[in-house]
A and B are shown apart, each in its own frame.
Chain A
Amino acid sequence: MTVISLIILLPIANALAIMLGAPARRSALLASWVQLALTLFAVLGYNRTVGGVQFGSSWSVAPEWGLSLRLGADGLSLIMLLLTALVTVAAIHASPRIEKREGLFFACILLIDAGAAGAFASFDLFFFYAFHELALIPTFLLIGLWGHGQRHAAAWRITIYLALGSIIVLVGLAKLYLAQNVALLPGHARTFDMIVMAKTPALIPAAAQGGIYIWLLIGFGILISLVPFHSWAPGAYASAPTPAAMLHAGVLKKFGLYGLLRVAVPLLPEGAKQWAHVLLVLLVLNILYIGLVTIAQKRLDTMLGYSSVMHMGYVFLGIAAGNAVGLSGAALLMLGHGLSIAALFAMAGHLRQSSPTLAFTDFGGIAKRAPFLGYAFGMAAFASIGLPGFANFSSEIMVFFGAFGSVPQPGTLSFSAIQIAVICGLWGVVISAVYMLRAFRKIFMGEDTGSAVVAEPKCDLRWAVIILLVALLIGGVWPKSYLSFIQPSVEAILAK
């Protein structure tokens, strides 16, 4: 049993144990810390000079389809697994006291965790897809049972949207599987094995790539909340219980981006070129249009929901760049965004205890009474904007540079489409600054209106936020620590 399969099995086993009567919160907390320790063990044990997929295990499931449960991790998956483990620990620490059915609550959280970890550690198209769906029903239950506001409507919407997105992804993956040029594969049989597929150059005929790419782009786009398929996200995050919002916005949504990086970028380069302009238009809309919508929000929870939709645009920009700098930036931004949005949702969950609606007008001058909360929220907000010192800054810089440099400069005063997208995207940083700083000012600065009395968070929540912020600071001050894992994987993805 490899350390990677343990990382996936542990939360599933723990969820089952909780349903059979183990003490819910305590065992979930223990399991999440063990998972983080195992992940760090894998990160430290990963041999970077050798590179490639390590800790591999393979279990043949249906040889006639070339299907096996293949687990392992390369640098990129390790970073995503690290994100999963960090956010899970923080999410369980940040869980409010659960009045009803505590066991079911933590079992659902752990299943989401297991699904995300399984998807990031699978090197087989089928299980890569299947693990992600493990989170679907738990998310539905979490939002519907323990959510706020219009929780039932939000739960229905997210479930139907994600199911629709998943089935579209499935059709795309099935097309990809069927389009393989069988003559190039070992044994002349089709395979679901992503490692074998990545090793085979020109596996998908160029003519078929465009038709597959668009299915994947729309399907993953729904899962990532790409405009115009984004409308499920803000409401769902606003209504979800704190840990569910943290895990979903922070980790699970990255599955679609990870899928594009793992599947579409290496296998469908021609398809990506065909649809490049569509993607550019959509991602600029994601940044600017959703950015403006975010500014208009009057409540903290929907504002955070929209901001998490907006920031996906930068990651798409890095993927659209299609070069090593842009893709590495995109991967690092996935980590940075996941950590910062999780921290923000954790603190929003704490604020909700004083004002259920989280309207900005309910708050004021909280930093005086709760300085820790003020500092921590400020840092997470700065990280989210992309100010220097945090992982988001280093990654957004890489995304912009990578995208701008991905095409030769046509002339001194003319720009190509992607460069125009970069110029538009830069304004997104200004927009983020506007809404984040405004929210910070309204809630934490100014007169203490006293209408919503906020106490300092308990020790549990402090830990959650500190863990996330430390990981963010490391990425900002010393980005090489993460990039030394990401870059070789990205170069391997591009090398073929």
Chain B
Amino acid sequence: MQQVVPAIALEVSVLLLGVLMLFAEAFSRRADRSHMAKYAIGVLAALVGFSFFTQAAPDTIAAGSYWKFYSVDATALFFKRIALVSTIVFLVMALEYRHILARFIPGEEEGRGTGEFYCLPVFICAGLMFMASAVDFILIFVSLELVTIGFYALVAYMRRHTLSLEAGVKYLILGALSTGFLVYGITWIFGLTGETSLALVKANLISGFSAAAAGGASADGPLAGNETALLFGIVLILVALGFKVAAAPFQLWVPDVYQGAPTPVTAFLSVGSKAAGFVVLVRVLDVFLAVPAVQGKVTAVLVLLAAATLIYGNITALPQENLKRLFAYSSIAHAGYLLMACASLGGDFAVAKQAVSFYLAGYLLMTLLSFLILIVVARHSRGDEIRHFNGLGKRSPMLAFAMTLAIASLAGIPLTAGFLGKFLVFKTAIATGHWVLIGIGIVAVAAGFYYYIKVIAAMYWREPEDAKSIEIAPLTRAAITILGVLIIVLGIFPRPVLDQLRERRQGPPAQVARH
């Protein structure tokens, strides 16, 4: 395969696109901004294509080059594509949602003031892509903030909608708090190792805590006795990331924010924010789990987080009647499965990482598909309760079938991408021997069947409240078809994703020069 594009050109292009869209927003005379979104979809789709032709990182890294904090391994590229695809689908959803949005935006004509709704996600996308490549705590922090600040504005975007404003405030306060935790944690790690680059932190920690340091056979490393300090820093970072991925007990913001935010933002939040959180989590766990002194304790913390998240997410999802809220709780549940795989990172790292990545790919497809359908149906039924889906099988067989597919995948029924993800998660947990988590996971899956299939029951068992058939815009129809087909294809034939996840270069990553 030709490798002609420098990887960082992808992020730069996305940023340029965002800036251009800002200009267009400022100077365009047309009130209707939907054309902006359509152009952006085209550009982002082209970038997905370009991402297959990126250059690999150089073998040796010169001092002062950006490769010190930026990497393009297969995982990074994979998550860049996830970011791009979810942004594209977000824009499709935003177009579908624009009439509802305009109702809650003050403005003399419809569409005025909605431009940022299309261009903020593009900046968030750039942040997500940087995060996928970040191998330095500073870049991790900066890109995480780029993403989070974008979301602050998007969540509260419907200025005349009290629920949206409430969601924005809650998200802002808790988000700022978690940022504080993250910085504080990074500071502790930096204080211990004197480095922010993950590779160097890892090397310093391993040599610092090893019983037989370079100096002598029996001498302790220079950091011996500082396990508590290291654990403190790690736990602070885990708390911050737990907030991003919606892990219990840091999930309190999720239901209100998911329900209050404009629906496209909810979808983007649950996919983009979660994917970014997990890619960072995997990267930092790679460092922390390599330190034998704390490996057991970090794993124990992860097991606890996973167990709490699985139990909380699944139990609270059971009685929900509002679909957005249901998806909010179920997104916590999915974070639980992902954490289950993360807790197994201490075993076979590559296998567990593959499970996380594959699960996220499937999660992306099924979540975006279900939210896309939710937006279409909510627009026609004027509400996003489960009962608004009553009789969808009669009103629009295509939407009902696609939703059934998304739900089947979310519940983890075989021959869908969601099942394969769950299978990999359980497999890696079994290989590591986390039997408590597996026991909880089994109950969680059974509970998941109940609350997901409730939607199928509404669509097929019940009679519609109004029998009007539902019109679907061509762009939306195309997106629904593509996502649905991908869910089945990945469930039966996962090879394309597995090939993308395989590292191009075998052996150790490039050495990073010290200061």
Q: Name A's B-contacting residues (CB within 8 A).
A: 19, 61-64, 69, 101, 104, 126, 129-131, 133-134, 136-137, 140-141, 144-145, 152, 155-156, 159-160, 163-164, 167-168, 170-171, 174-175, 177-178
Residues in B neighbouring A164, C-beta threshold 8 A: 442, 445-446
Q: Would B427 and A178 count as touching, CB distance under 8 A?
A: yes
Q: Would A171 and B430 count as touching, CB distance under 8 A?
A: yes
Q: Would A159 and B449 count as touching, CB distance under 8 A?
A: yes
Residues in B neighbouring A170, C-beta threshold 8 A: 423, 426
Interface window among B95-103, B115-123, B263-271, B452-460: B452-460
Q: Would B456 and A133 count as touching, CB distance under 8 A?
A: no
Q: Would A141 and B456 count as touching, CB distance under 8 A?
A: yes
Q: Would A136 and B413 count as touching, CB distance under 8 A?
A: yes
Q: Would A140 and B453 count as touching, CB distance under 8 A?
A: yes
Residues in B neighbouring A130, C-beta threshold 8 A: 414-415, 419
Q: Would A133 and B414 count as touching, CB distance under 8 A?
A: yes
Q: Would A144 and B457 count as touching, CB distance under 8 A?
A: yes
Residues in A neighbouring B426, C-beta threshold 8 A: 170-171, 174
Q: A131-B415, A145-B461, A167-B445 are in contact. List 7 more A-B contacts (CB 8 A).
A: A63-B495, A130-B414, A130-B419, A133-B419, A137-B408, A163-B445, A171-B438
Instruction: Indicate whether B253 reaches chain A with its CB closer than 8 angstroms.
Output: no
With beta carbons under 8 angstroms apart, the residue of B423, B430, B446, B494 that contacts A178 is: B430
A134, A141, A167, A168: residue with the most chain B Cβ atoms closer than 10 Å? A167
Interchain CA distance A460-B404 in the complex, whole Å:
33
Q: Name B's A-contacting residues (CB within 8 A).
A: 393-394, 397, 401, 404, 408, 411-415, 419, 423, 426-427, 430-431, 438, 442, 445-446, 449-450, 453, 456-457, 460-461, 492-495, 498
Q: Would B404 and A137 count as touching, CB distance under 8 A?
A: yes
Residues in B neighbouring A159, C-beta threshold 8 A: 449, 453
Please name the residue on chain B nearest to A140 by beta carbon. B453
Interchain CA distance A156-B415 in the complex, whole Å:
22
Residues in A neighbouring B427, C-beta threshold 8 A: 174, 177-178
Please name the residue on chain B nearest to A172 by beta carbon. B430
Please name the residue on chain A nearest to B431 by beta carbon. A178
With beta carbons under 8 angstroms apart, the residue of B401, B423, B460, B498 that contacts A144 is: B460
How many whole Å from B43's CB to the nearest CB in chain A?
Answer: 33
Once A19-B397, A134-B414, A137-B456 are accepted as A-B contacts, the answer to whether A160 and B430 lie under 8 Å apart by CB is no
Interchain CA distance A144-B460 in the complex, whole Å:
9
Q: Would A61 and B493 count as touching, CB distance under 8 A?
A: yes
How many whole Å from B305's CB to the nearest CB in chain A?
Answer: 21
Q: What are the 10 A-B residue pairs with the smallest beta carbon separation, nearest first? A: A130-B414, A163-B449, A133-B414, A164-B446, A174-B427, A167-B445, A144-B461, A174-B430, A130-B415, A178-B431
Residues in A neighbouring B411, C-beta threshold 8 A: 163
Interchain CA distance A445-B118 in the complex, whole Å:
76
Q: Would B442 and A133 count as touching, CB distance under 8 A?
A: no
Residues in A neighbouring B397, C-beta threshold 8 A: 19
Please name the residue on chain B nearest to A166 by beta carbon. B414
Residues in A neighbouring B413, C-beta threshold 8 A: 133, 136-137
Q: Would A64 and B393 count as touching, CB distance under 8 A?
A: no
Q: Would B430 and A167 count as touching, CB distance under 8 A?
A: no
Please name the residue on chain B nearest to A177 by beta carbon. B427
Interchain CA distance A137-B430 in the complex, whole Å:
27
Residues in B neighbouring A129, C-beta threshold 8 A: 414
With beta carbons under 8 angstroms apart, the residue of A101, A155, A163, A174 that contacts B423 is: A174
Residues in B neighbouring A168, C-beta threshold 8 A: 442
Q: Can you offer 12 A-B residue contacts whose CB atoms are under 8 A?
A: A19-B401, A69-B492, A130-B414, A152-B461, A160-B446, A163-B411, A163-B449, A164-B445, A167-B442, A170-B423, A170-B426, A174-B426
Please name the residue on chain B nearest to A162 by beta carbon. B449
Please name the residue on chain A nearest to B497 by beta carbon. A62
For chain B, what secondary structure do more than half of its interface residues adopt (helix, strand, loop), or is it mixed? helix
How many whole Å from A236's CB to the nearest CB in chain B?
Answer: 15
How many whole Å from B452's CB to the nearest CB in chain A?
Answer: 10
Q: Would A133 and B415 count as touching, CB distance under 8 A?
A: yes
Once A136-B413, A167-B445 are accepted as A-B contacts, the answer to whether A101 and B453 lie under 8 Å apart by CB is no
Interchain CA distance A170-B446 in the complex, whole Å:
13
With beta carbons under 8 angstroms apart, the residue of B449, B453, B461, B498 that contacts A64 is: B498
Residues in B neighbouring A167, C-beta threshold 8 A: 412, 442, 445-446
Once A104-B393, A136-B413 are accepted as A-B contacts, the answer to whether A62 and B456 lie under 8 Å apart by CB is no
Please name the residue on chain B nearest to A175 by beta carbon. B430
How many whole Å from A179's CB to the nearest CB in chain B?
Answer: 10
Please name the residue on chain B nearest to A136 by beta carbon. B413
Q: Would B494 and A61 count as touching, CB distance under 8 A?
A: yes
Residues in A neighbouring B404, C-beta threshold 8 A: 137
Residues in A neighbouring B494, C-beta threshold 8 A: 61-62
Residues in B neighbouring A19, C-beta threshold 8 A: 397, 401
Q: Would B438 and A134 count as touching, CB distance under 8 A?
A: no
Interchain CA distance A178-B457 in the complex, whole Å:
37
Please name the residue on chain A nearest to B446 by beta carbon. A164
With beta carbons under 8 angstroms apart, the residue of B414, B450, B460 that contacts A160 is: B450
Interchain CA distance A160-B494 in the complex, whole Å:
27
B394, B415, B445, B453: residue with the most chain A Cβ atoms closer than 10 Å? B453
With beta carbons under 8 angstroms apart, the residue of A61, A141, A163 that contacts B495 is: A61
Interchain CA distance A126-B438 in the complex, whole Å:
19
How many whole Å from B318's CB to the nearest CB in chain A?
Answer: 12
Residues in B neighbouring A64, C-beta threshold 8 A: 498
How many whole Å from A104's CB to the nearest CB in chain B?
Answer: 7
Residues in A neighbouring B414, C-beta threshold 8 A: 129-131, 133-134
Q: Would A140 and B456 count as touching, CB distance under 8 A?
A: yes
Interchain CA distance A222-B285 in the complex, whole Å:
39
With beta carbons under 8 angstroms apart, the residue of A62, A131, A152, A178 that contacts B498 is: A62
Residues in A neighbouring B450, C-beta threshold 8 A: 156, 160
How many whole Å from B369's CB to the nearest CB in chain A?
Answer: 16
B438, B449, B494: residue with the most chain A Cβ atoms closer than 10 Å? B449
Interchain CA distance A178-B430 in the complex, whole Å:
8
Residues in B neighbouring A155, C-beta threshold 8 A: 457
Please name the residue on chain B nearest to A141 by beta carbon. B460
Q: Would B461 and A160 count as touching, CB distance under 8 A?
A: no
Residues in A neighbouring B495, C-beta threshold 8 A: 61-63
Interchain CA distance A419-B110 in the complex, whole Å:
82
Residues in A neighbouring B419, C-beta threshold 8 A: 130, 133
How many whole Å from B458's CB to the nearest CB in chain A?
Answer: 11
Residues in B neighbouring A61, C-beta threshold 8 A: 492-495
Residues in A neighbouring B394, C-beta threshold 8 A: 101
Residues in A neighbouring B412, C-beta threshold 8 A: 167
Please name the residue on chain A nearest to B444 by beta carbon. A167
Please name the residue on chain B nearest to A67 by beta carbon. B494
Interchain CA distance A141-B394 in the complex, whole Å:
14
A69, A126, A159, A177: residue with the most chain B Cβ atoms closer than 10 Å? A159
Residues in B neighbouring A177, C-beta threshold 8 A: 427
Residues in A neighbouring B430, C-beta threshold 8 A: 171, 174-175, 178
Please name the residue on chain B nearest to A20 by beta carbon. B397
Interchain CA distance A206-B385 in the complex, whole Å:
53
Q: Would A134 and B415 count as touching, CB distance under 8 A?
A: yes
How many whole Å from B95's CB to the nearest CB in chain A?
Answer: 28
Interchain CA distance A170-B421 in the complex, whole Å:
13
Residues in B neighbouring A140, C-beta threshold 8 A: 453, 456-457
Residues in A neighbouring B498, C-beta threshold 8 A: 62, 64
How many whole Å from B495's CB to the nearest CB in chain A?
Answer: 6
Residues in B neighbouring A141, C-beta threshold 8 A: 456, 460-461
Interchain CA distance A170-B492 in the complex, whole Å:
16
Residues in B neighbouring A156, C-beta threshold 8 A: 450
Please name the residue on chain B nearest to A107 by beta carbon. B401
Residues in A neighbouring B431, C-beta threshold 8 A: 178
Please name the residue on chain B nearest to A144 by beta carbon. B461
How many whole Å from A102's CB to the nearest CB in chain B?
Answer: 13
